[in-house]
Structure 1
Amino acid sequence: MNKILKYVLIGVVVLGALWAAAFFVKTNSKSAITYETKNPFTANIEKKTVATGKVVPEDEVQIKPQVSGIIDKIYLKEGAKVKAGDLIAKIKVVPNEQSLNQAKGRVRNAEIALNNTKIEFDRNKILFDKGVVSSQDFNSQQLRYDQAKLELQNAQSDYQIIRVGSAGGSATANTNIRALVSGTILEIPVKEGDQVIQSNNFNDGTTIATIADLSIMIFEGKVDEGEVGKLQLGMPLKISLGAINDKEFDAKLRFIAPKGVEESGAVQFKIEGDVTVEEEFLIRAGYSANASLVLEKKDSVMVIPEALLQFDKTTDEPYVEVLIGDQKFERREVKIGISDGVNVEILEGLTKDDKVKIWNKTEPIKKGTEEDEEKN
C-alpha cells in the first residue's frame, strides 16, 4: 500500500507540473495587449476651414484741414459719436510773412488803381451827361471802373484768407474742422498746439480725425490657395471674436481677391465678409477674429474616427484592420471621402457590422528588458 500511495503521489506531482507548463506556454502565446474595436456609424460631416483676420469698419473717413496752421482747440475726444457737420477742432492760422506782405501789397495796388479809375469815370460821366462823350466811350470807362472795384474785393478776400484762414463773408470758416459723415471718432492723432498741413495736389495733408460707422463692419482675412477655389461669393461665415467669448456672428462672403500674396512660402488670398452686428454688442475696430467657412457638407453618411485610419508606407493608400476572430485582425483597404478632422467618411471597404481596430495602445515593456537596459 505504501508503494502504491507513493506512485500515486508521484503521478499527481507529474501531472500538476505538466498542467502548469501547458498553462504557462498557453498564457505566453497570447498577445500582450487586447485591442478594442469600434463599429462604423452614421453622422453628418462638414469640411471646414478657418480664416484668421480682423473686423474693421466698412468705411473710414479721414478728416484733413483745408488750411495750414496750428491746432488751436480740440472739442471732442476719441470714441465720441458725431453727426455730419459737428465741430471737432479749430485751427489757428499762422500766415507766411512773405505771402501776407504780397497780399497786402496787392490790396494797396488795387486801391490805387480803383481811385484812378474812379476819377476817370467821374470825369467821363460829366462829359457824357453834357453830350460831349459818346455812349460807347462812357460804357468802356464804366467797365474799367467795375473791374477795378472787383479786383479790390478779390485782393481784400485773398489777404483775409492768408491772415485768418477765411474770407469774412464765408458761411463756414476753413479753420473749423467738422465731421463729414456721421459715426464714431476712432482716432484723433493730433494734439492742441500741433502744426498741421492742408490737403492739396502735392500733399495728402495732416489727418486730424478718423470717423467710421461701427454698426457696419466687415471681416478681413486670408485663406490658403488650396482652399480658395472652393469658396463662392455669398456663402455664409461664422465669425468668432477674441474679445467676445461664446458668441458667433453671422456674415456673408462678399469678396475674394483675384491675386494672392506669398507669405512664409505659402500663397494667401484676401477675403472679405459683411458682418451682421447685433445692437447689444459693441464691436470695436480692429478686433482679431476667426471666420469659419463650410467648404463641403454631407448628411447621414457612414463614418469612422479618423484615428482608426492607417496609411500604407509604399502606396500611401488608407486601410484599417477589421476583427475576424479572438484578437485576430485582417487588413482592409478602404476608400475615404471628406473629413472634418475628427471623423472621416467611408465610401467603400466597410459595413456597419465590421469591428475596426482602435490603435490606441502600445506593447508593454517587459521587465527583463528594463533590467537589461539598467545593466547596460
Structure 2
Amino acid sequence: MQARRPFFSCSYAGNRYSGIAPRAAALLALAFTAACGEAEEAPKAERAAVPVFTTQIEERELVQPITGTGTIAAQKTTDMGPQVDGIIDEVYVRVGDRVKEGDALFKTRAIDFELQVKELESRVKLARAEMRNAEREFKRIKELRSKGVVSIGQLDKVQAAYDVASAQYGVANAQLEQARQRLKDATVRAPFDGVITQQDIYEGKFMATRGGGMGGPSGVVQIQKIDIVGAIVNVPAVHLSKLALGTPAKVYIDGVDEVYDSEIHILNDKVDHTTRSIEVRVGLKNEDYKIKTGLFTRAEFYPPPRKALVMDRSALLGIEGARYVFVPDQGRARRQPVEAVQLDAASVEILRGLEAGDKVLTGPMLGTLIDGLAIRIEESNSGETAPETAAMLTPTQTGTR
C-alpha cells in the first residue's frame, strides 16, 4: 500500500491538482510553494539572535548642583534724611546719579544757622574779653594781698568773678561749636560711594529730624552701595546639610549675559517656616555697576562630590516605580529590576539592583528584547550603534515584525 503524502508537501502539490484547469492549478501551486517557503524560513528566524550592544556601570564622583532662586540686593542701602530741622533748600542729585563718599546730596535752608553762628561768635568774643578783665583783676588783687594791702574777702570776691567769666566763656564756645555743627549738618553728604536709587522729597518741603511728625518721610534720597552686590537666594531646607560657608556657586542673573562664579558668604540660621527654605547670600563684584538691584537671580551651589553608580540613560526601561534593564546572561537577555534617578539627559544614577562593573544591554534593538531571548553582542568602540549598522538591524532580521 502506497504511503499517503502530507497535504502540504511541496512535491505533492503539483500532482494533486494535475487534473484541474491549468490556470487554477498554476495559482494553487504558487500559493502552496510560497507557504512552504515561509514554513521553512520560520524556524531559522526564530533561532536568530538579536544584535545588541553593552554599556558598563561606572562608579563616578558626582557633584549634584543645588538650585535656588532669589533677588539681587545692594551691599548697603540708606535713606538719607535731614540732620537738622528746616526747609529743603536744594537737592544736588537725582535718581541714577553716581556719587562718591563726601559728595553733597541736599541742603537744608541754612540762613538761620549762619546768623546764629555769627551771633555766637560775637558772644564768644565778649565772654573772652570779660574773662581776661576778670583774670587781670584777679592777678592784681592777688598781688596786693601778698603785700597785705587788701583783705582775704576781697581776694575771694575777685577770684569768684574770674571763675564766672571763665565759665561763661566756655559756655559761649560750646554754643558756638554746636551752631557751627548745625550749619555743617545743613548739607547732607554721601556716607559712601554709591548710586542714587530713589528721591522722595524735592525743594521747598519742610523736614524734621524726627519721622512721623509734621516733617513726614525721614528720607529725601536713597543711596545704595552696589560696587559689591549680594544674591539673596532661597534654597529648600532639605539641602541644609550639603551647604556651608565657602561652598562654590554659579550665579545667573536675568538681563545679564555673564555667569558669575562666587561662593556662599552668609548662611542664615533662620529657616522660613512657611516655605521651609533657608536664605543663602552670595557676594558678587560689581565695579562697573552692570548688575542692578532687584533683578531676579538663580544660583547653583556645588557641594563636595560623592560616589555614585552611573549608567547610560538609553539602557533604562520601564516606567517610574518599575524600572528595569536587560543584562547578558550566557547568550541570553535577562531582565533585571533596578532603582534609578535621572541625572541628566544622557545618564542616570543606579540606587539599587546593579554594581560597579556590571554590563547592561543597549542599542537600537533594546525595545524588542524579552526575558530569555537569545542575543548577539556587537562590538563598538564608542558604545553606540553606528548609523549604517542601525539601519541594517531591521525587525525582519530578528524574526519579528
* Normalised-by-shorter TM-score class: 0.5 to 0.7
Q: Structure 1: any 5+ residue segments left out of the alignment?
A: 96-102, 159-165, 360-376
Provide the aligned length of Structure 1 versus Structure 2: 312
What is aligned with 1:192?
Answer: 203
| Cα contact 1:63–1:208 (8 A) shared by 2 | yes
Alignment of 1:360-375 (within 5 A): none
Give the TM-score normalised by the residue count of structure 2: 0.61
Report deviation, 1:342. Answer: 5.4
Report deviation, 1:142. Answer: 2.5
Which of the numbers 195, 208, 218 marks the counterpart of 1:206?
Answer: 218
What is aligned with 2:156?
Answer: 136
Q: Which amino acid aligns with 1:223?
A: V
Which of the numbers 257, 264, 286 marks the counterpart of 1:253?
Answer: 264
Q: 1:217 to 1:18 in 2, by over 3 A?
A: same
1:282 alignment partner, SS class: coil
Report deviation, 1:147. Answer: 3.7
Partner Cα distance (1:223, 1:46) in 2:
17
What is aligned with 1:304?
Answer: 312
Partner Cα distance (2:205, 2:33) in 1:
101
1:222 alignment partner, SS class: strand
Partner Cα distance (1:244, 1:270) in 2:
22
What is aligned with 1:271?
Answer: 280
Does residue 1:75 correspond to 2:92, yes or no? Answer: yes
Alignment of 1:141-152 (within 5 A): 141-148=161-168
Partner Cα distance (1:336, 1:4) in 2:
66
Q: Which amino acid aligns with 2:337?
A: E
Partner Cα distance (1:19, 1:45) in 2:
62
Report deviation, 1:21. Answer: 8.0
Does residue 1:90 correspond to 2:107, yes or no? Answer: yes
Alignment of 1:1-376 (within 5 A): 4=18, 6=20, 10=24, 12-14=26-28, 16=30, 40=55, 46-92=63-109, 128=141, 131=150, 133-148=153-168, 167=179, 169-170=180-181, 173-198=184-209, 206-245=218-257, 247-263=258-274, 266-277=275-286, 282-295=290-303, 297=305, 302-305=310-313, 308-310=316-318, 316=321, 318-322=322-326, 331-336=335-340, 339-340=343-344, 343-346=347-350, 348-349=353-354, 351-355=358-362
Q: Which amino acid aligns with 1:66?
A: Q
Report deviation, 1:94. Answer: 10
2:361 alignment partner, SS class: coil
Map Cα deviations across residues 208-251 of structure 1 (whole Å, 9 max, x no partner).
33333322122111000122221122111111111113x21111
What is aligned with 1:373?
Answer: none
| Cα contact 1:66–1:174 (8 A) shared by 2 | yes
Report deviation, 1:16. Answer: 5.0
Identity %: 17
Map Cα deviations across residues 137-187 of structure 1 (whole Å, 9 max, x no partner).
221233234445555666x759xxxxxxx72x4496221111112233333
Partner Cα distance (2:106, 2:181) in 1:
18
Q: Which amino acid aligns with 1:198?
A: T
Structure with larger Rg: 2
Give the TM-score normalised by the residue count of structure 1: 0.64
Report deviation, 1:273. Answer: 1.2
Partner Cα distance (1:140, 1:14) in 2:
150
1:243 alignment partner, SS class: coil
| Cα contact 2:79–2:218 (8 A) shared by 1 | no
